[in-house]
Amino acid sequence: MKVKKVMTKNVITIDKDRNIVDALRLMLKHNISRLPVTENNKLVGIITERDIAIKLCKPYGHISASHIYVSSLMTKKVVTMEENANVEEAARIMIEKDISGLPVVNNSDLVGIITKTDMLKICRRSRRKVSEVMTRDVVLVSPYTRVIHLRRLLIDKDISRVIVTDRGKIVGIVTERDVAEALGTFRKIVEHYYQDERIKHFYAEQIMTANPITINKNDTIADACKLMLTNEISGLPVVDDEKRLVGIVTKTDITRYVAER
């Protein structure tokens, strides 16, 4: 299957001179996690939720998020994909480069974007079991883990979400978007004189999505794709028949499955 058959054609972009608050608003409004960056309608970079989550606290100190420009955080060397390339090739590049989306070009013109979400769409009929593709090594935190530590954990482990547990029970999930949005709001509403102290009392339970949707390890990849697409989420804790956590399945796992087909 060709990239042009599954890519998103109406691409949401942002100018390099807009600030990261504008970027986050666009991502939240359109439920996307990356934005191609333009200058005079030409592609000059890409910015992601991860870029914003990593950079919001430091090295910018107490500078307001509204004064941090997209151009200062964007990735300038953008990996692109030709519209006539195969979907499997796009999936392989995403996995190899550890990226979640590829701007699609035709003769250097931006004509679309293909993302890990698109990989879900092409796997909606797969009868393989979730247990065959899920990640078994799950990163867990408690409800009382500090948000600043969550940010560090996401960076160090190179992951996009962590599962929150309390006494062995799944109670929530925290994503890069949650952290980026929370830190942006924190910087906006807390006077900079008090930020260093108050950030120490900002915990996972305050920003997590409580009681996240889960999936059984014996359900199919098609079931997982449907749940993620319907609920506009990027990962599902995987449980066994006794509701015990045994893994997590994400868009990255599905993309890897496509790449290896």
Residue 200 belongs to a domain: yes
Residue 121 belongs to a domain: no
Task: Check whether 154 has a pLDDT greater than 80.
Answer: yes
* Domain match, 149 and 228 both: yes
**pTM of the prediction?**
0.85
End-to-end alpha-carbon separation of the chain, Å? 12
Domain boundary (114, 146, 174) is at 114
- Identify whether the C-beta of residue 105 lies closer than 8 Å to the C-beta of residue 80: yes
Percent of the chain with pLDDT over 70: 96
Residue 122 belongs to a domain: no
Per-residue pLDDT tens over the stretch 198-214 = 888 899 999 999 999 99
Give the Cβ contact number of residue 166 at 10 Å. 12
Bridge-based pairing state of the strands 14-15 and 34-39: parallel
Residue 237 belongs to a domain: yes
> Concatenated DSSP letters for 87-148?
HHHHHHHHHHHT-SEEEEEETTEEEEEEEHHHHHHTTTT--SBGGGT-B----EE-TTSBHH
Read off the pLDDT band of 151 (50, 70, 90).
Answer: confident
Looking at the 3D structure of the chain, how many domains does it have? Answer: 2
Residue 120 belongs to a domain: no
Q: Residue 123 corresponds to which amino acid?
A: C
Buried (b) or exposed (e) across 2-22, using 16+ Cβ within 10 A? ebbebbeeebeebbbebbbbb
Per-residue pLDDT tens over the stretch 32-43 = 889 999 998 889
Per-residue pLDDT tens over the stretch 104-138 = 988 878 999 999 999 999 999 999 999 999 999 99
Residue 209 belongs to a domain: yes
* Domain match, 234 and 156 both: yes
What was the pLDDT predicted at 63?
Answer: 65
* Domain match, 91 and 13 both: yes
Residue 125 belongs to a domain: no
* Domain match, 163 and 47 both: no
**CATH code, domain with 203:** 3.10.580.10
* Domain match, 151 and 87 both: no
Contacts of 22 (CB under 8 A, 6+ apart): 14, 70
What was the pLDDT predicted at 56?
Answer: 66
Task: Check whether 62 has a pLDDT greater than 80.
Answer: no
* Domain match, 136 and 249 both: yes
Domain that holds residue 51: 3-114
